[in-house]
Amino acid sequence: MLEAIILTVITAATPLLLAAIGELVVERSGVLNLGVEGMMVMGAVAGFALTNTTGSTLLGIAGGLVAGALVSLVFAFVTQTLVANQVASGLALTLFGLGLSGLLGESFVGTPGIKLPSLDIPGLSDLPFVGPILFGQDILVYVSFALVAFVSWMLFRTRAGLIIRAVGDNHGSAHALGYPVILVRYLTILFGGACAGLGGAYLSVAYTPLWVENMTSGRGWIALALVVFASWIPYRVAIGAYLFGLVSILQLHAQPLGLGVPSQFLSMLPYLVTILVLVIISLNRRTTRLNSPACLGRPFVPDR
Amino acid sequence: MDQAARSVTHEGKAAPLLATQGLTKRFGALTACDHITWDISHGEVHALLGENGAGKSTLVKMLYGALAPDEGGILWEGRPVAIGSPAEARRLGIGMVFQHFSLFEALSVAENIALALPPRGRRELAETIRKVSREYGLPLDPDAGIADLSVGERQRVEIVRCLLQEPRLIIMDEPTSVLTPQESEILFVTLRRLASEGVAILYITHRLSEVLALAGRATILRRGKLVATADPRVESAKSLARMMIGADVAGIERPGRPEAHLRPRLVLGKLSQPPDGAFSTALADIDLTVSAGEVVGIAGVAGNGQGEFFDALSGEKLLPRADMIVIDGVAVGRQGVNDRRRLGAAFVPEERIGHGAVPALRLSENVVLTRHATDGDIARGLVVHRAAARAIEERVGERFDVRRSGADPRASALSGGNLQKFMVGREIDRNPGILVVNQPTWGVDAGAARTIRQALVDLARSGSAVLMISQDLDEIFEVADRVAVLSGGRLSPLYPAETMTSDQIGLLMGGVHHDHDGAAPVPAQPAEPRHELRHAP
Amino acid sequence: MAVLSPLIAVALTVATTFVIFALYGVDPFRGLYIYFVAPLTEGWSREELVVKATPLILIAAGLAVAYLSNNWNIGAEGQFTIGAIAGSAIPILAPDFQTFATLPLMLIMGALGGALYATIPALLKTRFGTNEILTSLMLVYVSLLFLDWIVRGPWRDPMAFGFPNTVSFSDAALIPFIGTGRLNASAIVALVVVLALAAVLARTLKGFEIRVLGESPRAGAFAGFSAKRMTVFAFAVSGALAGLAGIMEVASVIGKLQPVISPGYGFTAIIVAFLGRLNPIGILIAGFVIALSYLGGEAIQSGLQVSSRMAQVLQGLLLFFVLACDTLILYRVRLARPATPTGAPARA
């Protein structure tokens, strides 16, 4: 029973983790991309479509990654090259992504999907209890953890990460020192888009292998909240994602547990908890102020 | 040209390190730099003088690669070069210390410095920072967070960052504008040492006393043109000022200060306020009385609570007790800005754009901004009367010589000096009983500064109480009747202005410097005698 | 000048539609006609246009007030929903209360419900500093789930034979129809509200306060305006208008409560607000443009077998174009290009 719960928590948390870790990098460079929901759902539809037409889940996942990145490119162009308002542009990206994915996915509604297989490490996966949990996951789960480790190392131990953080802190100074602020932001936005696309692809290829319109159901927004919750620190994103995974699958397991709460209220839990978490985090102003990138959301126009 | 010819001109003298020929830069219709031909040699300390708007910053940005010239060329050691980016400037050996620092608050000292240098190992860099900073008398702790450093310490980071690149030419843009007199002395020692090592120093300033003390040559810009090159050793402050402004400096007219026993209009009693967040300054036990007819000047270097003090006075931040501020006999500490305005108080904040005025709005709308609560004509009931606001805008524009193109322009279309004149005029037009102004003439050309300072004195002499917070000691001495110093959120006692010297003020500014090797704090160094700037009466 | 960017954006969207039709193998001119022109030619279709535009315009006008003051209310869809539920309480719980006061009371309850629901994210922002975009958005999902529950549960019509909806409203609880189609008096209410808002924003001190706080919060504080009070005000107003739109939609063209009462009006209204450049009169026009895109989407579905979801894609694209054109025009094509070195001619 516990094993089943843990397994479902992992699958619920992974798409959140993938999308959030990508957005963390974007925000560290000073850009607020509210279009995560749109990028995720594009990744979901692309992942499903490609998996179904080629028969390969790996190609599907790759397709999701590419779809997310391509869509984020539009956002990057509008906000960095054209310097449009980031909040409105992010909303536009979400609405556009939701609409486009609905359009592209129309012919796939009702089609059964192919599930991303779990890794089967001979010997290790067969260990009781620990086996399936630690060694029997599909590849994206391991990728999500690898990404957290990679981002953490990259941001704080490499020069590239230092430049990203500098750009997010004071893009004027970074520009004065000769760093290509706009190029850096294009790259982080693409990275964020790719991660969101991966997260979306996970939903339609690993979580529940099917396509339903708007199947992300607000996970993109929760991912944005997770970045704030984590105070822009990578390993905390993982903690947050798993906490949310726990909350969101409660509705699945509440019935066998005999709780008399209507299913709609249980479904409300992730959203209500998100609000609660955001409030708690905003109470701790000092940590937020120290870690939140000072230029977050502010437009950058270099003078020449 | 061959090797020998490159370093020697036909007159047999060494070629200058850096020279410009006909350097020009335009921004639309404005010619910021007009065919500037100029040079600087190894080991020379060269001052670049000019009032605000003369073109100093623009010229220097071209030398540093941050702007591209429209015409003209730059020669480095006799060879023409195109400096397309700050990185290229650094490669040539040009280093820059910015006036408004280009530091990253969220990062450490070492990380800030690393960003300006080619990549190298962390430990090696930390060691180098400790060594070099100590060597030049500006000790730094590589692991300290920039956010925790004082303004003077942050400048050290800028300078050390510059030094580590082993520059041949260092450009400094108004470096002492954020330093106490004592900290400025430390800086001068460092600069003289660098010059003796052969480093050329281009020193931008509008402070004539520093030019006389420090520079071997001075170049004066006026309205984008190079008008003179002078030898400070034979010039005087007055002659330099005349070259800068183009006419004899007219001082302001200051009729005698009224005697004591005049009615106190603004009384602060033990004014205290806890800090608002981790990076603000607490105010503690400030006692102050400003009487009708006088100008009180509050001196102090940036970062000592001026902004917090202004917000407490204006009512943007309420005080713990009502009686901490008394305006014409009424305790208003717990009341907001419009209540204080209704009692006859007026306020001019430091920041023009985004605080004192809204850039996207027209001047008439900016009149409504501060006067809707006190002027019945402008806002009667719920409706805004635009015509009345426009009439005020015109009147203020006339009286205070606000230069604008077209009627009722947006605030963003005005130059800094004109917007400042508007903001001060907007309040004085109300005939306030009390005027509080923070940094009345920063970033403003000499003509506008004169207009504003004269208006402050005239207002005071007509019976109002004027409180002026300023980081410019020259301005304080020119305008104020009595002076106090704000340091670390505390106010010194008031002294009559004529009994004070800038050294005494400097000492009042305090300035305990932390020795970053972990030893106990070191008290400020006593200052050497300095030139004093006085305008002709 | 201000009109230019929305016009260009619309033109670009039309051009894109042209291209998409061509890619689909449909005659693009015929496609454009069916999409943009045909809906305007028939009487019933023109009435549909007004019916669809009404909630969009009403919600967007409220959002304009919020966005102008830098309060990002993204939860209009949720306030719409809660307003619909609150207003519907009267005909559902007291179906015999059928007087001339019934409808006005319902409208007031709807506006109040939307306003109160909107003050939740507002208070979270003023008291705790919590980001209002995320909180108002989360509440949308909560409200939709709540509607689902209440319609399938406590308020379900026992005689509905398996359909999840409430009892139909009596005539006293329905908004009177005008004309032959679905055109109804809610359009008049919306028009009145928009004109009133236009006057307030342009002429009054409150309108001045809204704009100043949105542009420069510090200058607003200097003027004696309270940003926190404005947040609550802005959310309350936009929530009230969204809630009003919600109850009016339910009490006119739907006639009862059911699990789905909105095709995403609350989100589309965001596009309308920007297309109308946050100006009530502009929003009036923009609402019709977007309503036309909804009708056009349905028309090409039945006429050309092209998915009606195309409408949503084009709406999203339209918003992108509006934002892009806005910047290009306002900043006069200051495209961010990397620094280019300039050569200097050597002089002897």
Residue B5, chain C, CB below 8 Å: the answer is: no
How many domains does the structure of chain A reveal? 1
User: B343 at the C interface (CB within 8 A)?
Assistant: no
pLDDT tens digits along A262-294:
888 888 888 998 899 889 888 876 666 667 888
Between chains, do B356 and C222 touch, taking CB under 8 Å as contact? Answer: yes
C42 in B contact zone (CB under 8 Å): no
Is the distance from CB of B256 to CB of B244 less than 8 angstroms?
A: no
For residue A85, list chain C residues with Cβ-Cβ distance below 8 A. 323
Whole-angstrom Cα distance, residue C173 to residue B398? Answer: 62
In a domain, A299, yes or no: no
Q: Is residue A142 part of a domain?
A: yes
Tokens coding B25: 């830069």
CATH code, A197 = 1.10.3470
Taking the C-alpha atoms of residue B508 and residue B487, their distance in angstroms, rounded to an integer, is 8
Q: What type of residue sits at position A67?
A: A
Q: Smallest CA–CA separation between C279 and chain B, in Å?
A: 16
- φ/ψ of residue A6, rounded to 5: -60, -40
Would the CB atoms of A173 and B278 count as touching at under 8 Å? no
Residues of chain B with CATH 3.40.50.300: 42-69+83-245, 264-500
Digit-coded pLDDT (tens) for B467-516:
999 988 888 988 999 999 998 889 999 999 888 887 788 777 764 333 33
State whether residue A289 sits within 8 Å of chain B by CB. yes
The answer to whether residues B342 and B332 touch, using CB atoms and an 8 Å cutoff, is no
Chain A residue whose CA is closest to C143: A268
Q: Which residues does chain A have within 8 Å of residue B85's beta carbon, measured at their own beta carbons?
A: 178
A251 within a domain of the structure (yes/no): yes
Residue A179 inside a domain? The answer is yes
- The CATH number of B264-500, from 1.10.150.650, 2.60.120.380, 3.40.50.300, 3.40.50.720, is 3.40.50.300
The arithmetic mean of pLDDT across residues A248-271, rounded, is 76
Give me B219's structure tokens.
């170049």
Q: Which residues of A touch C314 (CB under 8 A)?
A: 99
ipTM: 0.85
Check whether B436 has a pLDDT greater than 80: yes
The answer to whether C243 and C286 are in contact (CB under 8 A) is no
Give how far Cα C55 sits from Cα of B290, C42, C107, C109, C249, Å: 59, 21, 14, 17, 7
> Which pair of structure tokens corresponds to residue C108?
């007031």
What's the pLDDT score for residue B277? 73
pLDDT on residue C347: 26
What is the model's pTM? 0.85
CA distance C146 to C164: 14
Give the residue, C242 or A254, on which the prediction is more confident. Answer: C242
Q: Report the pLDDT value the prediction gives residue C31, as an integer from 0 to 100.
A: 83
More reliable by pLDDT, A11 or C332: A11
Q: How many CB pairs under 8 A join A and B?
A: 58
3-state SS of chain B: helix, strand, coil percent to 5? Answer: 35, 25, 40
Supply the pLDDT for residue B512. Answer: 38
* pLDDT for residue A286: 61
Q: How confident is the model at residue A257 (pLDDT cuts 50, 70, 90)?
A: low
Q: How confident is the model at residue B3 (pLDDT cuts 50, 70, 90)?
A: very low
pLDDT mean across residues, chain B: 84
B117 touching A (Cβ < 8 Å):
no
Residue C69 to chain B, least CA–CA distance (Å): 14
Partner-chain residue, chosen from B82, B337, B382, that has the shortest CB–CB distance to C343: B82
Cα–Cα distance list, B461 to B200, B254, B255, B431, B464 (Å): 48, 9, 8, 12, 7
**Token pair of B243 as six digits:** 């070259």
Yes or no: say if B250 and B450 are a contact pair by the CB < 8 Å rule.
yes
Task: Please state, in angstroms and rounded to a whole number, the distance separating the CA atoms of residues C229 and B461.
Answer: 40
Q: Write out chain B residues lying below 8 Å of A290, CB-based.
A: 106, 147
Give the lowest-confidence range in A136-140, B294-298, B448-452, C214-218: A136-140
Q: Best mutation site among B355, B370, B374, B437 for testing chain C: the one with the most C CBs within 10 Å?
A: B355
Helices (H), B247-372: 306-314, 337-342, 363-371
Q: Are A165 and A31 in contact (CB under 8 A)?
A: no
pLDDT category, B530, cuts 50, 70, 90?
Answer: very low
Between B315 and B534, the more confident residue is B315
Cβ-nearest to B106 among A178, A294, A304: A294
Q: Does the CB of C339 have a partner CB in chain A at under 8 Å?
A: yes
DSSP A1: -
Q: How confident is the model at residue B130 (pLDDT cuts 50, 70, 90)?
A: very high
Each residue's pLDDT tens digit, A40-95: 999 999 999 999 999 888 999 999 999 999 999 999 999 999 888 898 899 889 98
Tell me which residue of C102, C80, C81 sits closest to C93, measured CA to CA: C102
The shortest CB-CB distance from A228 to any of C131, C137, C323 is to: C131
pLDDT mean across residues, chain A? 88
Cα distance between residue A76 and residue A36, in whole Å: 13
Nearest to B85 among C221, C223, C339 (CB): C339
Q: Do C320 and A34 touch (CB under 8 A)?
A: no
Nearest CA-CA distance, residue A32 and chain B, Å: 18
Give the confidence band of B152 by pLDDT, cuts at 50, 70, 90: confident
Task: Tell me the shortest Cα–Cα distance from B291 to chain C, in angstroms.
Answer: 25
Average pLDDT of the residues in B271-277: 88
* Contact check, Cβ <8 Å, C309/A99: yes
Which residue from C203, C206, C344 is facing B74, i.e. has the nearest CB? C344
A300 belongs to a structural domain? no
> What amino acid occupies position B7?
S
More confident residue, A250 or C29: C29
Residue pLDDT, tens place only, B398-418? 999 888 878 899 998 888 888
- Who contacts B54 (Cβ-Cβ below 8 Å, separation ≥6)? B221, B222, B223, B224, B244
Domains of chain C: 4-330 (1.10.3470)
Mutate to test the interface with C, among B318, B339, B358, B386 (most CBs of C within 10 A): B358
Contact assignment for A169 to B66 by CB distance below 8 Å:
no
Task: Say whether residue B107 is in contact with chain A using an 8 A CB cutoff.
Answer: yes
In a domain, A114, yes or no: yes
**Is A190 part of any domain?**
yes
CB contact under 8 A, B111 and A173: no
- In Å, how far are B120, C49, C84, C184 from C187, measured between CA atoms? 68, 11, 17, 6
Question: How far, in Å, CA of B443 to CA of B113, rounded?
Answer: 29
Instruction: Compute the nearest-CA separation of B106 from chain C (Å).
Output: 21
CATH 2.30.30.90 is held by the domain B42-69+83-245? no
Q: State the pLDDT at residue B506.
A: 76
Interface of A with B in 83-102 (CB under 8 A): none
Q: Which residues pair with B27 in a beta bridge?
A: B30
Contact B84 C347 (CB under 8 A): no
Per residue in B67-94, pLDDT (tens digit) is: 889 999 999 988 999 888 888 888 899 9
| A256 pLDDT tier (thresholds 50, 70, 90) | low
CB contact (8 A) between residue A162 and residue B86: no
Task: Report the chain A residue with the minimal C-alpha distance to residue B102.
Answer: A173
Over residues B372-389, mean pLDDT = 87
Q: What is the pLDDT of residue B259?
A: 65
The dihedral over CA atoms of B101, B106, B109, B110, expressed in degrees to the nearest 10, equals -120
- Residue A113's pLDDT is what? 83
Question: Could you report the average pLDDT of every consecutive run of 10 residues in chain C (348 residues)?
Answer: 80 88 82 84 85 96 96 96 95 87 93 97 93 93 95 86 82 81 87 95 94 94 95 97 96 90 92 92 93 86 76 86 81 41 28
Question: Which of B87, B98, B111 lies closest to A162 in CB terms?
Answer: B111
Estimate the share of chain A in helix, then strand, then coil, as percent rounded to the nearest 5: 75, 0, 25
Q: Which H or E run includes B32? A: strand B30-40
Residue A72 near residue A94 (C-beta atoms within 8 A): no
With a cut of 50, say whether residue B521 has pLDDT above it.
Answer: no
What range defines the domain where residue A227 resides?
2-291
Chain C residues 279-308 with CB within 8 Å of chain A: 307
Q: What is the pLDDT of residue B99?
A: 72
Q: Average the pLDDT over B338-367 and give the result.
A: 94
> Would the CB atoms of B72 and C344 count as touching at under 8 Å?
yes
- The model's confidence at residue A254, banded by pLDDT at 50, 70 and 90, is low
